[in-house]
Amino acid sequence: MMHVRTRRDALLRGVSGLEVKEDKGGGGDFAELKTAIEGYTAEAKKHADTVADMRRELDEIAKKQNRLVLNGAGGGGEEKTDVAERKALSVFARTGDEAELKALSVGSDPDGGYVVHSVMAQSMIKRIYDLSPMRRLSRVETITIGDAWEEPLDLDESGATWVGEQTARPATDTPGLGMLRVPVHEIYALQKVTQRLIDDAAIDVGGWVTGKVNDKLARAEGAACVSGDGVLKPKGFLAYDTAATADASRARGVLQHFASGGASDFAASNPGDVLKNMVWGLRTPYRQNGAWLMNSNTASRIDKFKDGNGDYLWRDGMTSGAPPSLLGYPVEFDEGMPDVAANALPIAFGDFRQAYLIVDKAGVRWLRDPYSDKPHVLLYAYRRVGGGLANSEALKLLKIAA
């Protein structure tokens, strides 16, 4: 462009001189030079038009870039939105007039809402479930081969008799043996997740699914260890038969229960007496490691019980995280325990480590399959676990009955 202007200026200077020459009688040289000037002028105009077109294209590109900035990367907002917002900001910056600026609002996308974006958190508010304490309270054994745990049982005692010097000594009773068998059962979870979600999500989807499945497996195990029927799952201690008879006269595998004193509730007077009966009904070898198990609804009733002196039977934990105590023994909470109702068994007391056995095989196993169901990734988890009553003398139950 500068080259064209230089040539044009030179030609104009030449024109001035030729005009003087023509006045003195010159002729053909002027006409020839005039034609050349007109040619150069046309060429300069063509270059000027080209430059104007380029400027218009650059302005359009600048407008598009401004819209991308205002609407976010990849946005496609309307051009009038961009113009209105820039005009309002420009007027405010030059004059301080907020009239047009105040007309913009978040509630309307064309009036400014396009440029307001939510902030995605890097964390997630997780739903928290109640976990059973059964695994922590019970005895846990791990196997690597086979599909069941077997353990000899000492069923009774040996016979012994006092004799005199000359008294015959026939054979005394021999102790009997039994066999405890706890089979392991399988529980699984299969989660389908698209590969794109795994790749593009703002959170760790795989880690989130893994945590949810592990939590569900743990809760399912806890529920089965309390009340499972033993069919394709562990048999919970509440699923075993109960009787009111004492240890010496009750068959092994049958739990002793204590009646509450009311057909559908505790006794109207001295309701805490049955809890004391449960404590003293548990023999000394088990009582020293005794613990209570109930749900929160039952605990809300028990913590109001008083003895004959007006003192509460319930004691809250003295330090943070310490469990409360009832009659001097710790209280554990399992929301899978039943509420107080007719014929329900809402409270257990005993040495759970002696009473109940949980059998693990290899823990939780995970398989990741990105091939079988494209575009999904299959996250398959399973575990094998069993549970059963090991010692029926180490646990006592409260039964809501008259």
Q: What is the pLDDT of residues 254-280, one digit of tens each?
A: 999 999 999 999 999 999 999 999 999
What CATH number did the domain enclosing 138 receive?
3.30.2400.10
- How many folded domains does the chain comprise? 2
Q: What is the rounded average pLDDT of the residues 142-163?
A: 92
Same-domain status, 279 and 324: yes
Angle, vertex CA 345, rays to CA 343 and CA 349, nearest 5: 150
107 in the same domain as 233: no
Residues 184 and 80 in one domain: no
Lowest-confidence range among 29-38, 61-70, 74-83?
74-83
| Residue range 177-216, pLDDT digits in tens | 899 999 999 999 999 999 999 998 888 888 889 999 999 9
Q: Is residue 123 part of a domain?
A: no
The mean of the pLDDT values for the chain is: 83
Q: Could you tell me if 381 and 290 lie in one domain?
A: yes
Percent of residues, the chain, with pLDDT higher than 70: 75
List the single range of 56-70, 141-155, 235-249, 281-295 with lowest mean pLDDT: 56-70
Shared-domain flag, residues 110 and 138: no
Regarding predicted confidence, which is higher, 382 or 105?
Answer: 382
Residue 279 near residue 287, CB atoms below 8 Å? yes
Q: Same domain for 182 and 298?
A: yes
Q: Tell me: pLDDT of 360 over 70.
A: yes
Assess whether 304 and 187 both reside in one domain. yes
Task: Kindly tell me if the per-residue pLDDT of 15 is higher than 70.
Answer: no
**Is the model's pLDDT at 365 over the cut of 80?**
yes
For range 217-242, the mean pLDDT:
96
Domain coverage including residue 298: 134-159+174-399
pTM of the predicted structure, to 2 decimals? 0.70
When mean pLDDT is compared across 33-42, 107-116, 152-161, 282-291, the lowest value belongs to 107-116
- The pLDDT assigned to 19 comes to 44
**Percent of the residues in the chain that have a pLDDT greater than 90, as a whole number:** 57
The H or E element that residue 350 is part of is strand 347-350
Q: How far is CA 188 from the centre of its chain?
A: 18
Q: Does the pLDDT value for residue 88 go beyond 70?
A: no
Q: Are residues 13 and 153 in the same domain?
A: no
Residue 345 and residue 311 in contact, taking contact as beta carbons nearer than 8 Å: no
Same domain, 180 and 87: no
CB neighbour class for 381 (10 Å; exposed up to 12, middle 13-18, buried from 19) = buried
